[in-house]
Chains A and B, each alone.
Chain A
Amino acid sequence: MADAAFKPLVRKHSEIGIFLIAILLIVFFAATSEGRWNNSYNISTILQITATLGLMTLGVALVVGTGEIDISVGSTFGMSALIYLFLAVRVDPFIAATAAVCVGALIGAFNGYLVTKTGTPSLIITLGSLMIFRGLAIALTSGFAFSIPYKERGGFSYFILGGDNMFNFGTFAGVNTGFLWLIFALVVLTVVLKLMPYGNHLLAVGGSSESAHSRGIRVDRVKLKAFIICGALAGLGGVLEAGKLGSADGSMGRLMELQAIASCVLGGCLLAGGRISLIGALMGAFVLSSIQSYLVVMAVRPQWFMVLLGIIVVFAALGDKKLRHWAHKH
Protein backbone atom coordinates (compact mmCIF):
# COMPACT_ATOMS: atom_id res chain seq x y z
CA MET A 1 0.00 0.00 0.00
CA ALA A 2 1.09 3.55 -0.61
CA ASP A 3 0.11 4.21 2.99
CA ALA A 4 2.61 1.76 4.35
CA ALA A 5 5.41 3.22 2.29
CA PHE A 6 4.57 6.80 3.13
CA LYS A 7 4.18 6.43 6.88
CA PRO A 8 7.80 5.69 7.80
CA LEU A 9 8.87 8.51 5.50
CA VAL A 10 6.73 11.01 7.40
CA ARG A 11 7.92 9.57 10.70
CA LYS A 12 11.55 9.98 9.79
CA HIS A 13 11.26 13.34 8.04
CA SER A 14 9.26 15.77 10.11
CA GLU A 15 9.61 18.37 7.35
CA ILE A 16 7.38 16.49 4.91
CA GLY A 17 4.31 18.22 6.29
CA ILE A 18 5.55 21.66 5.37
CA PHE A 19 6.49 20.52 1.86
CA LEU A 20 2.94 19.24 1.34
CA ILE A 21 1.52 22.49 2.69
CA ALA A 22 3.82 24.46 0.40
CA ILE A 23 2.71 22.51 -2.65
CA LEU A 24 -0.97 22.93 -1.75
CA LEU A 25 -0.54 26.65 -1.21
CA ILE A 26 1.43 27.17 -4.40
CA VAL A 27 -1.30 25.42 -6.40
CA PHE A 28 -3.99 27.41 -4.60
CA PHE A 29 -2.22 30.77 -5.01
CA ALA A 30 -1.47 30.12 -8.65
CA ALA A 31 -5.05 29.09 -9.34
CA THR A 32 -6.72 31.98 -7.58
CA SER A 33 -4.48 35.00 -8.21
CA GLU A 34 -4.93 35.20 -12.00
CA GLY A 35 -1.19 35.39 -12.53
CA ARG A 36 -0.62 38.16 -10.05
CA TRP A 37 1.13 35.81 -7.60
CA ASN A 38 2.79 33.37 -9.95
CA ASN A 39 4.80 35.69 -12.12
CA SER A 40 8.55 35.87 -12.25
CA TYR A 41 8.77 39.27 -10.62
CA ASN A 42 6.71 38.19 -7.64
CA ILE A 43 8.50 34.86 -7.24
CA SER A 44 11.77 36.73 -7.22
CA THR A 45 10.45 39.01 -4.47
CA ILE A 46 9.31 36.02 -2.44
CA LEU A 47 12.76 34.47 -2.72
CA GLN A 48 14.35 37.69 -1.52
CA ILE A 49 12.08 37.87 1.52
CA THR A 50 12.67 34.16 2.15
CA ALA A 51 16.42 34.78 2.07
CA THR A 52 16.51 37.27 4.95
CA LEU A 53 13.75 35.64 6.99
CA GLY A 54 15.35 32.26 6.24
CA LEU A 55 18.75 33.23 7.64
CA MET A 56 17.08 34.36 10.83
CA THR A 57 15.01 31.16 10.88
CA LEU A 58 18.08 28.92 10.56
CA GLY A 59 19.60 30.55 13.62
CA VAL A 60 16.41 30.26 15.63
CA ALA A 61 16.16 26.60 14.59
CA LEU A 62 19.60 25.88 16.05
CA VAL A 63 18.70 27.55 19.34
CA VAL A 64 15.38 25.66 19.38
CA GLY A 65 17.40 22.51 18.78
CA THR A 66 19.17 22.99 22.12
CA GLY A 67 15.80 23.32 23.86
CA GLU A 68 16.06 27.10 24.26
CA ILE A 69 14.47 29.91 22.26
CA ASP A 70 15.57 33.29 20.95
CA ILE A 71 12.78 35.80 20.40
CA SER A 72 15.16 38.77 20.14
CA VAL A 73 16.24 38.06 16.56
CA GLY A 74 13.97 40.71 15.04
CA SER A 75 15.71 43.40 17.07
CA THR A 76 19.12 41.95 16.26
CA PHE A 77 18.14 42.03 12.59
CA GLY A 78 17.22 45.72 12.91
CA MET A 79 20.35 46.68 14.84
CA SER A 80 22.65 45.00 12.34
CA ALA A 81 20.82 46.58 9.41
CA LEU A 82 21.26 50.04 10.93
CA ILE A 83 24.92 49.49 11.78
CA TYR A 84 25.57 48.28 8.26
CA LEU A 85 23.89 51.30 6.72
CA PHE A 86 25.62 53.68 9.09
CA LEU A 87 29.07 52.27 8.29
CA ALA A 88 28.62 51.41 4.60
CA VAL A 89 28.74 55.04 3.53
CA ARG A 90 31.87 55.61 5.64
CA VAL A 91 34.00 52.49 5.09
CA ASP A 92 34.03 49.63 2.62
CA PRO A 93 30.65 47.85 2.66
CA PHE A 94 32.36 44.54 3.37
CA ILE A 95 33.89 45.91 6.55
CA ALA A 96 30.53 47.44 7.43
CA ALA A 97 28.82 44.09 6.88
CA THR A 98 31.41 42.25 8.96
CA ALA A 99 30.97 44.71 11.80
CA ALA A 100 27.19 44.40 11.63
CA VAL A 101 27.32 40.60 11.70
CA CYS A 102 29.73 40.78 14.64
CA VAL A 103 27.27 42.98 16.52
CA GLY A 104 24.61 40.34 15.82
CA ALA A 105 26.94 37.68 17.20
CA LEU A 106 27.60 39.84 20.26
CA ILE A 107 23.89 40.19 20.95
CA GLY A 108 23.65 36.41 20.62
CA ALA A 109 26.56 36.02 23.04
CA PHE A 110 24.84 38.41 25.46
CA ASN A 111 21.69 36.27 25.35
CA GLY A 112 23.55 32.99 25.57
CA TYR A 113 25.78 34.11 28.39
CA LEU A 114 22.87 35.30 30.51
CA VAL A 115 20.81 32.19 29.82
CA THR A 116 23.59 29.73 30.64
CA LYS A 117 25.14 31.60 33.58
CA THR A 118 21.94 32.55 35.39
CA GLY A 119 19.75 29.63 34.41
CA THR A 120 16.94 32.06 33.62
CA PRO A 121 14.56 30.81 30.91
CA SER A 122 15.71 31.98 27.50
CA LEU A 123 12.19 33.25 26.74
CA ILE A 124 12.59 35.87 29.48
CA ILE A 125 16.18 36.84 28.70
CA THR A 126 15.56 37.23 24.99
CA LEU A 127 12.29 39.06 25.65
CA GLY A 128 14.44 41.55 27.51
CA SER A 129 16.95 41.90 24.70
CA LEU A 130 14.10 42.10 22.18
CA MET A 131 13.04 45.30 23.95
CA ILE A 132 16.53 46.60 24.72
CA PHE A 133 17.80 46.42 21.16
CA ARG A 134 14.56 47.56 19.60
CA GLY A 135 14.62 50.54 21.91
CA LEU A 136 18.26 51.23 21.04
CA ALA A 137 17.51 51.00 17.33
CA ILE A 138 14.70 53.52 17.63
CA ALA A 139 16.74 55.79 19.90
CA LEU A 140 19.81 55.73 17.65
CA THR A 141 17.85 56.65 14.55
CA SER A 142 15.69 59.08 16.54
CA GLY A 143 12.80 58.53 14.19
CA PHE A 144 14.75 58.94 10.96
CA ALA A 145 16.00 56.39 8.49
CA PHE A 146 19.59 55.50 7.67
CA SER A 147 20.20 55.14 3.98
CA ILE A 148 22.81 54.79 1.31
CA PRO A 149 22.44 57.38 -1.48
CA TYR A 150 21.26 55.67 -4.61
CA LYS A 151 24.23 56.75 -6.75
CA GLU A 152 26.66 55.12 -4.31
CA ARG A 153 25.05 51.71 -4.51
CA GLY A 154 27.36 50.30 -7.16
CA GLY A 155 30.24 47.92 -7.05
CA PHE A 156 30.67 44.28 -6.21
CA SER A 157 30.32 44.70 -2.44
CA TYR A 158 26.83 46.13 -2.74
CA PHE A 159 25.92 43.60 -5.37
CA ILE A 160 26.91 40.58 -3.30
CA LEU A 161 25.33 41.95 -0.13
CA GLY A 162 21.78 41.68 -1.39
CA GLY A 163 21.92 44.81 -3.53
CA ASP A 164 20.88 43.18 -6.78
CA ASN A 165 19.62 40.07 -8.49
CA MET A 166 21.54 37.51 -10.42
CA PHE A 167 20.59 34.85 -12.98
CA ASN A 168 18.17 37.31 -14.52
CA PHE A 169 17.45 36.28 -18.08
CA GLY A 170 14.50 36.85 -20.32
CA THR A 171 11.46 37.77 -18.31
CA PHE A 172 12.78 36.14 -15.13
CA ALA A 173 13.74 38.86 -12.70
CA GLY A 174 16.48 36.73 -11.19
CA VAL A 175 17.38 35.75 -7.68
CA ASN A 176 18.55 38.25 -5.11
CA THR A 177 22.15 37.66 -4.08
CA GLY A 178 20.88 37.30 -0.51
CA PHE A 179 19.49 33.94 -1.57
CA LEU A 180 23.03 32.70 -2.23
CA TRP A 181 23.97 33.49 1.35
CA LEU A 182 20.95 31.54 2.51
CA ILE A 183 21.85 28.48 0.47
CA PHE A 184 25.44 28.74 1.68
CA ALA A 185 24.32 28.96 5.32
CA LEU A 186 21.90 26.06 4.85
CA VAL A 187 24.60 23.80 3.40
CA VAL A 188 27.20 24.66 6.05
CA LEU A 189 24.79 24.30 8.97
CA THR A 190 23.33 21.05 7.64
CA VAL A 191 26.84 19.60 7.41
CA VAL A 192 27.65 20.81 10.91
CA LEU A 193 24.42 19.45 12.32
CA LYS A 194 24.47 16.04 10.67
CA LEU A 195 28.12 15.24 10.14
CA MET A 196 30.13 16.99 12.81
CA PRO A 197 30.52 16.47 16.56
CA TYR A 198 28.99 19.85 17.40
CA GLY A 199 25.73 18.82 15.73
CA ASN A 200 25.66 15.64 17.77
CA HIS A 201 26.20 17.62 20.97
CA LEU A 202 23.59 20.22 20.07
CA LEU A 203 20.86 17.65 19.47
CA ALA A 204 21.91 15.69 22.54
CA VAL A 205 21.59 18.80 24.70
CA GLY A 206 18.14 19.46 23.25
CA GLY A 207 17.07 15.84 23.69
CA SER A 208 18.21 15.52 27.29
CA SER A 209 20.60 18.06 28.71
CA GLU A 210 21.05 15.89 31.81
CA SER A 211 22.14 12.90 29.79
CA ALA A 212 24.39 15.04 27.61
CA HIS A 213 25.96 16.52 30.74
CA SER A 214 26.53 13.05 32.20
CA ARG A 215 28.40 12.09 29.03
CA GLY A 216 30.77 14.99 29.51
CA ILE A 217 29.18 17.47 27.11
CA ARG A 218 29.70 21.09 28.17
CA VAL A 219 26.03 21.95 27.90
CA ASP A 220 26.54 25.68 28.53
CA ARG A 221 29.12 26.03 25.78
CA VAL A 222 26.93 24.20 23.28
CA LYS A 223 24.02 26.56 24.05
CA LEU A 224 26.20 29.66 24.01
CA LYS A 225 27.54 28.76 20.59
CA ALA A 226 24.02 28.23 19.25
CA PHE A 227 22.96 31.68 20.51
CA ILE A 228 26.04 33.30 18.93
CA ILE A 229 25.41 31.63 15.57
CA CYS A 230 21.76 32.66 15.81
CA GLY A 231 22.66 36.30 16.47
CA ALA A 232 25.20 36.36 13.66
CA LEU A 233 22.70 34.91 11.18
CA ALA A 234 20.00 37.39 12.19
CA GLY A 235 22.63 40.10 11.76
CA LEU A 236 23.52 38.82 8.29
CA GLY A 237 19.85 38.79 7.40
CA GLY A 238 19.61 42.41 8.50
CA VAL A 239 22.62 43.37 6.40
CA LEU A 240 21.15 41.73 3.30
CA GLU A 241 17.77 43.35 3.84
CA ALA A 242 19.45 46.72 4.25
CA GLY A 243 21.54 45.98 1.17
CA LYS A 244 18.40 45.28 -0.81
CA LEU A 245 16.41 48.29 0.39
CA GLY A 246 19.31 50.72 0.79
CA SER A 247 17.65 52.24 3.83
CA ALA A 248 16.15 51.30 7.17
CA ASP A 249 14.62 52.89 10.22
CA GLY A 250 14.30 51.82 13.83
CA SER A 251 11.39 49.51 13.13
CA MET A 252 13.33 47.30 10.72
CA GLY A 253 12.68 43.61 11.45
CA ARG A 254 9.90 44.22 13.91
CA LEU A 255 7.76 41.08 14.50
CA MET A 256 10.05 39.08 12.25
CA GLU A 257 11.07 37.01 15.28
CA LEU A 258 7.53 35.64 15.40
CA GLN A 259 7.68 34.66 11.75
CA ALA A 260 11.02 32.96 12.31
CA ILE A 261 9.65 30.93 15.22
CA ALA A 262 6.50 30.09 13.26
CA SER A 263 8.70 28.95 10.36
CA CYS A 264 10.60 26.62 12.67
CA VAL A 265 7.44 25.12 14.10
CA LEU A 266 5.84 24.71 10.68
CA GLY A 267 9.06 23.18 9.41
CA GLY A 268 8.97 20.37 11.92
CA CYS A 269 11.24 21.69 14.66
CA LEU A 270 10.19 20.57 18.12
CA LEU A 271 10.10 23.59 20.44
CA ALA A 272 11.08 21.30 23.32
CA GLY A 273 14.38 20.75 21.56
CA GLY A 274 16.34 17.83 20.15
CA ARG A 275 14.53 17.54 16.84
CA ILE A 276 14.97 20.14 14.13
CA SER A 277 14.89 20.26 10.39
CA LEU A 278 16.80 23.12 8.80
CA ILE A 279 15.40 22.57 5.32
CA GLY A 280 11.92 22.27 6.84
CA ALA A 281 12.33 25.53 8.72
CA LEU A 282 13.40 27.23 5.50
CA MET A 283 10.37 25.81 3.75
CA GLY A 284 8.34 27.31 6.60
CA ALA A 285 9.94 30.70 5.90
CA PHE A 286 9.13 30.29 2.22
CA VAL A 287 5.50 29.45 2.98
CA LEU A 288 5.13 32.49 5.25
CA SER A 289 6.73 34.76 2.65
CA SER A 290 4.43 33.30 -0.01
CA ILE A 291 1.35 33.88 2.08
CA GLN A 292 2.40 37.44 2.74
CA SER A 293 3.02 38.11 -0.90
CA TYR A 294 -0.32 36.54 -1.84
CA LEU A 295 -2.11 38.88 0.51
CA VAL A 296 -0.24 41.83 -1.01
CA VAL A 297 -0.96 40.95 -4.63
CA MET A 298 -4.59 40.22 -3.80
CA ALA A 299 -4.78 43.71 -2.29
CA VAL A 300 -5.96 42.48 1.08
CA ARG A 301 -6.03 45.47 3.41
CA PRO A 302 -2.83 45.54 5.50
CA GLN A 303 -4.89 45.46 8.70
CA TRP A 304 -5.90 41.88 7.82
CA PHE A 305 -2.34 40.81 7.17
CA MET A 306 -1.52 39.59 10.63
CA VAL A 307 -4.94 38.10 11.24
CA LEU A 308 -4.91 36.01 8.10
CA LEU A 309 -1.29 35.09 8.54
CA GLY A 310 -2.01 33.90 12.06
CA ILE A 311 -5.03 31.87 11.00
CA ILE A 312 -3.12 30.20 8.21
CA VAL A 313 -0.24 29.43 10.55
CA VAL A 314 -2.59 27.83 13.06
CA PHE A 315 -4.30 25.72 10.41
CA ALA A 316 -1.00 24.71 8.83
CA ALA A 317 0.33 23.70 12.23
CA LEU A 318 -2.82 21.68 12.96
CA GLY A 319 -2.59 19.96 9.59
CA ASP A 320 1.02 19.15 10.21
CA LYS A 321 0.23 17.72 13.62
CA LYS A 322 -2.54 15.56 12.17
CA LEU A 323 -0.18 14.23 9.55
CA ARG A 324 2.44 13.32 12.12
CA HIS A 325 -0.15 11.73 14.38
CA TRP A 326 -1.28 9.62 11.48
CA ALA A 327 2.27 8.60 10.69
CA HIS A 328 2.94 7.46 14.24
CA LYS A 329 -0.19 5.33 14.43
CA HIS A 330 0.41 1.64 13.83
Chain B
Amino acid sequence: MSDAHPLIQVKNLDLYFGSFHALKDVSVDFHAGELVGLVGDNGAGKTTLIRVLCGIHKPSKGEVYFDGELVTEFHPKLAIDQGIETIQQSVGLCDNLSIARNFYLGREPMKKIVGIPFLDFKQMRSMSTKVIRAFGLRDNVSADDEVERLSGGERQSVKIGRAVEFKNRVVIMDEPTNHLSVREREHVNELAVQLKEQGLLVIYITHDIFQVHKLADRVVIMENGEKIEDASTDSMTAEQLEEVIRQGGRLVEKMGS
Protein backbone atom coordinates (compact mmCIF):
# COMPACT_ATOMS: atom_id res chain seq x y z
CA MET B 1 0.00 0.00 0.00
CA SER B 2 3.00 2.29 0.33
CA ASP B 3 3.75 2.61 -3.37
CA ALA B 4 5.67 5.48 -4.96
CA HIS B 5 3.17 8.30 -4.65
CA PRO B 6 -0.34 8.46 -3.32
CA LEU B 7 -3.18 9.00 -5.79
CA ILE B 8 -4.59 11.79 -3.67
CA GLN B 9 -2.44 13.66 -1.22
CA VAL B 10 -3.92 16.26 1.11
CA LYS B 11 -1.39 18.52 2.84
CA ASN B 12 -2.12 20.87 5.74
CA LEU B 13 -5.60 21.65 4.54
CA ASP B 14 -7.63 24.39 6.19
CA LEU B 15 -11.11 25.46 5.26
CA TYR B 16 -13.13 28.29 6.69
CA PHE B 17 -16.80 29.01 6.09
CA GLY B 18 -16.83 32.64 7.12
CA SER B 19 -15.45 32.50 10.65
CA PHE B 20 -16.24 28.82 11.08
CA HIS B 21 -13.10 26.69 10.94
CA ALA B 22 -14.44 23.56 9.24
CA LEU B 23 -11.17 21.76 8.47
CA LYS B 24 -8.07 22.21 10.62
CA ASP B 25 -4.66 21.37 9.23
CA VAL B 26 -5.76 18.06 7.73
CA SER B 27 -3.10 15.94 6.02
CA VAL B 28 -3.94 12.54 4.62
CA ASP B 29 -2.83 10.27 1.76
CA PHE B 30 -5.04 8.02 -0.32
CA HIS B 31 -3.64 5.29 -2.55
CA ALA B 32 -5.01 3.56 -5.61
CA GLY B 33 -6.40 0.12 -4.87
CA GLU B 34 -7.23 1.06 -1.34
CA LEU B 35 -10.55 1.17 0.50
CA VAL B 36 -10.37 3.85 3.16
CA GLY B 37 -13.04 4.30 5.78
CA LEU B 38 -13.57 7.91 6.77
CA VAL B 39 -15.27 7.89 10.14
CA GLY B 40 -16.45 10.46 12.63
CA ASP B 41 -19.48 12.00 14.29
CA ASN B 42 -21.81 14.49 12.71
CA GLY B 43 -20.00 17.74 12.05
CA ALA B 44 -16.58 16.08 12.24
CA GLY B 45 -15.66 17.41 8.79
CA LYS B 46 -15.87 14.16 6.79
CA THR B 47 -18.28 15.48 4.20
CA THR B 48 -16.46 18.81 4.04
CA LEU B 49 -13.18 17.03 3.32
CA ILE B 50 -14.59 14.98 0.50
CA ARG B 51 -16.34 18.03 -0.90
CA VAL B 52 -12.90 19.51 -1.35
CA LEU B 53 -11.71 16.35 -3.08
CA CYS B 54 -14.63 16.38 -5.49
CA GLY B 55 -14.20 20.05 -6.29
CA ILE B 56 -17.24 21.59 -4.57
CA HIS B 57 -15.25 23.53 -1.96
CA LYS B 58 -11.99 25.33 -2.51
CA PRO B 59 -9.63 25.03 0.45
CA SER B 60 -8.67 28.23 2.27
CA LYS B 61 -5.14 27.00 2.89
CA GLY B 62 -3.07 23.93 2.12
CA GLU B 63 -2.54 21.75 -0.91
CA VAL B 64 -4.20 18.88 -2.69
CA TYR B 65 -2.22 16.71 -5.09
CA PHE B 66 -3.93 14.38 -7.53
CA ASP B 67 -1.68 11.79 -9.11
CA GLY B 68 1.35 13.80 -8.03
CA GLU B 69 0.14 17.07 -9.50
CA LEU B 70 -0.88 20.08 -7.48
CA VAL B 71 -4.58 20.89 -7.91
CA THR B 72 -4.93 24.60 -8.63
CA GLU B 73 -8.56 24.89 -9.70
CA PHE B 74 -11.49 23.36 -7.84
CA HIS B 75 -14.68 22.56 -9.73
CA PRO B 76 -16.74 19.35 -9.82
CA LYS B 77 -16.36 19.30 -13.60
CA LEU B 78 -12.57 19.02 -13.30
CA ALA B 79 -12.82 16.33 -10.63
CA ILE B 80 -15.25 14.28 -12.71
CA ASP B 81 -13.04 14.68 -15.78
CA GLN B 82 -10.12 13.34 -13.73
CA GLY B 83 -12.18 10.31 -12.80
CA ILE B 84 -13.26 11.24 -9.29
CA GLU B 85 -16.85 10.13 -8.84
CA THR B 86 -18.71 11.07 -5.68
CA ILE B 87 -21.91 9.66 -4.26
CA GLN B 88 -23.18 12.52 -2.15
CA GLN B 89 -25.86 12.23 0.46
CA SER B 90 -28.12 15.16 -0.22
CA VAL B 91 -27.15 16.30 -3.70
CA GLY B 92 -26.51 14.67 -7.05
CA LEU B 93 -29.98 14.08 -8.47
CA CYS B 94 -32.39 16.57 -10.00
CA ASP B 95 -35.94 15.56 -9.11
CA ASN B 96 -37.40 17.18 -12.19
CA LEU B 97 -35.38 15.10 -14.66
CA SER B 98 -35.78 11.51 -15.75
CA ILE B 99 -33.52 8.77 -14.46
CA ALA B 100 -31.78 8.55 -17.83
CA ARG B 101 -31.16 12.30 -17.93
CA ASN B 102 -29.84 12.31 -14.36
CA PHE B 103 -27.66 9.35 -15.04
CA TYR B 104 -25.75 11.17 -17.75
CA LEU B 105 -26.04 14.69 -16.39
CA GLY B 106 -22.87 16.58 -17.28
CA ARG B 107 -21.45 13.79 -19.44
CA GLU B 108 -24.23 13.23 -21.93
CA PRO B 109 -23.53 10.82 -24.78
CA MET B 110 -24.02 12.58 -28.08
CA LYS B 111 -24.96 11.67 -31.59
CA LYS B 112 -24.09 14.11 -34.31
CA ILE B 113 -26.71 14.79 -36.92
CA VAL B 114 -25.40 17.08 -39.66
CA GLY B 115 -22.70 18.22 -37.28
CA ILE B 116 -25.08 19.24 -34.49
CA PRO B 117 -24.72 17.33 -31.22
CA PHE B 118 -27.96 15.75 -30.05
CA LEU B 119 -28.48 13.63 -26.96
CA ASP B 120 -28.12 9.94 -27.68
CA PHE B 121 -31.34 8.82 -26.02
CA LYS B 122 -30.90 5.22 -27.09
CA GLN B 123 -27.70 4.85 -25.15
CA MET B 124 -28.97 6.94 -22.24
CA ARG B 125 -32.03 4.72 -21.88
CA SER B 126 -30.41 1.35 -22.38
CA MET B 127 -27.53 2.00 -20.00
CA SER B 128 -29.62 3.50 -17.23
CA THR B 129 -32.26 0.78 -17.61
CA LYS B 130 -29.56 -1.85 -17.24
CA VAL B 131 -28.35 -0.23 -14.04
CA ILE B 132 -31.75 0.27 -12.44
CA ARG B 133 -32.59 -3.36 -13.16
CA ALA B 134 -29.29 -4.53 -11.70
CA PHE B 135 -30.06 -2.58 -8.55
CA GLY B 136 -33.51 -4.07 -8.28
CA LEU B 137 -35.63 -0.97 -8.72
CA ARG B 138 -39.37 -1.65 -8.95
CA ASP B 139 -40.34 -3.22 -12.25
CA ASN B 140 -42.75 -0.44 -13.08
CA VAL B 141 -40.02 2.19 -12.88
CA SER B 142 -38.61 3.09 -16.26
CA ALA B 143 -35.55 5.12 -17.21
CA ASP B 144 -37.91 7.82 -18.51
CA ASP B 145 -39.54 8.35 -15.12
CA GLU B 146 -38.66 11.39 -13.13
CA VAL B 147 -36.41 10.82 -10.14
CA GLU B 148 -39.12 12.44 -8.00
CA ARG B 149 -41.03 9.15 -8.17
CA LEU B 150 -38.26 7.15 -6.52
CA SER B 151 -37.93 6.12 -2.90
CA GLY B 152 -34.87 7.06 -0.86
CA GLY B 153 -33.24 3.71 -1.45
CA GLU B 154 -33.92 3.80 -5.16
CA ARG B 155 -32.43 7.26 -5.44
CA GLN B 156 -29.32 6.02 -3.69
CA SER B 157 -29.17 3.07 -6.07
CA VAL B 158 -29.26 5.37 -9.08
CA LYS B 159 -26.38 7.42 -7.67
CA ILE B 160 -24.30 4.35 -6.90
CA GLY B 161 -25.09 2.73 -10.22
CA ARG B 162 -24.00 5.88 -11.97
CA ALA B 163 -20.74 6.05 -10.05
CA VAL B 164 -19.90 2.44 -10.78
CA GLU B 165 -20.82 2.51 -14.43
CA PHE B 166 -18.36 5.11 -15.61
CA LYS B 167 -14.66 4.42 -15.87
CA ASN B 168 -13.29 6.10 -12.79
CA ARG B 169 -10.15 6.16 -10.69
CA VAL B 170 -11.70 7.27 -7.42
CA VAL B 171 -15.14 6.55 -6.00
CA ILE B 172 -16.13 8.49 -2.90
CA MET B 173 -19.19 7.25 -1.06
CA ASP B 174 -20.79 9.49 1.54
CA GLU B 175 -22.94 7.32 3.84
CA PRO B 176 -23.85 5.11 0.89
CA THR B 177 -25.99 2.67 2.83
CA ASN B 178 -28.34 5.20 4.39
CA HIS B 179 -31.97 4.54 3.43
CA LEU B 180 -31.08 1.08 2.15
CA SER B 181 -32.51 -2.29 3.08
CA VAL B 182 -30.24 -4.97 4.51
CA ARG B 183 -29.96 -6.72 1.16
CA GLU B 184 -29.19 -3.49 -0.70
CA ARG B 185 -26.64 -2.61 1.95
CA GLU B 186 -24.75 -5.83 1.36
CA HIS B 187 -24.85 -5.23 -2.35
CA VAL B 188 -23.35 -1.76 -1.97
CA ASN B 189 -20.61 -2.99 0.33
CA GLU B 190 -19.74 -5.78 -2.09
CA LEU B 191 -19.53 -3.20 -4.86
CA ALA B 192 -17.18 -1.06 -2.81
CA VAL B 193 -14.83 -4.00 -2.35
CA GLN B 194 -15.09 -4.95 -6.02
CA LEU B 195 -14.16 -1.45 -7.09
CA LYS B 196 -11.13 -1.55 -4.82
CA GLU B 197 -10.11 -4.89 -6.26
CA GLN B 198 -10.29 -3.37 -9.71
CA GLY B 199 -7.58 -0.97 -8.61
CA LEU B 200 -9.73 2.05 -7.77
CA LEU B 201 -9.39 4.18 -4.69
CA VAL B 202 -12.57 3.94 -2.66
CA ILE B 203 -13.25 6.41 0.15
CA TYR B 204 -16.14 5.22 2.27
CA ILE B 205 -17.71 7.63 4.72
CA THR B 206 -19.81 6.31 7.56
CA HIS B 207 -20.73 6.61 11.21
CA ASP B 208 -20.51 2.91 11.64
CA ILE B 209 -16.97 1.91 12.54
CA PHE B 210 -17.89 -1.78 12.88
CA GLN B 211 -19.35 -1.96 9.40
CA VAL B 212 -16.46 -0.19 7.73
CA HIS B 213 -13.79 -2.05 9.69
CA LYS B 214 -14.86 -5.23 7.93
CA LEU B 215 -14.47 -3.63 4.49
CA ALA B 216 -11.66 -1.13 4.75
CA ASP B 217 -7.88 -1.45 4.53
CA ARG B 218 -7.44 1.67 6.56
CA VAL B 219 -9.58 3.91 8.72
CA VAL B 220 -9.22 7.66 9.07
CA ILE B 221 -11.07 9.19 12.01
CA MET B 222 -12.05 12.83 12.08
CA GLU B 223 -13.30 14.91 14.94
CA ASN B 224 -14.23 18.55 14.98
CA GLY B 225 -12.46 19.31 11.69
CA GLU B 226 -9.26 17.48 12.60
CA LYS B 227 -7.82 14.11 11.69
CA ILE B 228 -7.34 12.27 14.99
CA GLU B 229 -6.49 8.76 13.78
CA ASP B 230 -5.17 7.14 10.64
CA ALA B 231 -4.56 3.40 11.07
CA SER B 232 -4.69 0.24 9.03
CA THR B 233 -7.48 -2.15 10.01
CA ASP B 234 -4.85 -4.86 10.61
CA SER B 235 -3.22 -2.82 13.32
CA MET B 236 -6.34 -1.88 15.27
CA THR B 237 -9.59 -3.64 16.03
CA ALA B 238 -12.95 -2.01 15.53
CA GLU B 239 -13.34 -1.81 19.30
CA GLN B 240 -10.05 0.06 19.64
CA LEU B 241 -11.04 2.47 16.91
CA GLU B 242 -14.40 3.03 18.52
CA GLU B 243 -12.58 3.90 21.72
CA VAL B 244 -10.51 6.45 19.80
CA ILE B 245 -13.69 8.07 18.54
CA ARG B 246 -15.04 8.24 22.10
CA GLN B 247 -11.79 9.58 23.50
CA GLY B 248 -11.44 12.03 20.64
CA GLY B 249 -14.88 13.39 21.34
CA ARG B 250 -13.99 13.86 24.98
CA LEU B 251 -10.65 15.46 24.21
CA VAL B 252 -12.31 17.96 21.95
CA GLU B 253 -14.95 18.70 24.54
CA LYS B 254 -12.24 19.30 27.13
CA MET B 255 -10.34 21.56 24.78
CA GLY B 256 -13.45 23.49 24.00
CA SER B 257 -14.44 24.12 27.62
Contacts and interface: CB of A to CB of B under 8 A. Distances in A.
B147 to A, nearest CB: 9
Q: Is the interface of A mostly helix, strand, loop or mixed?
A: helix
A84 to B, nearest CB: 29
Interface stretch (B11-19, B95-103, B209-217): B95-103
B105 A204 contact: yes
A40 to B, nearest CB: 38
A215 B92 contact: yes
Contacts, number: 80
A213 interface: yes
Most chain B beta carbons < 10 A, residue from A206, A207, A212, A214: A214
Interface in B67-97: 75-81, 86, 88, 91-97
B94 A196 contact: no
Interface in A255-273: none
B5 interface: no
Contact of B95 (A208, A217, A218): A208
A313 B117 CA distance: 39
B108 A211 contact: no
A155 interface: no
B113 to A, nearest CB: 9
Interface of B: 54-56, 75-81, 86, 88, 91-97, 101-102, 104-108, 110, 116-119
A200 B119 contact: yes
19 contacts: A195-B118, A197-B110, A197-B119, A200-B104, A201-B105, A203-B97, A204-B101, A207-B95, A207-B96, A208-B96, A211-B91, A214-B54, A215-B92, A215-B105, A216-B80, A216-B107, A217-B77, A217-B105, A275-B96
A197 B107 CA distance: 9
Nearest to B108: A197
Closest 4 CB pairs of A and B: A216-B77, A207-B96, A207-B94, A274-B96
A204 B118 contact: no
A197 B119 CA distance: 6
Contacts of A218: 75, 77
B79 A216 contact: yes
B106 to A, nearest CB: 4
A197 B121 CA distance: 11
Given A195-B119, A197-B119, A204-B105, A214 B56 contact: yes
A92 interface: no
A211 B79 CA distance: 15
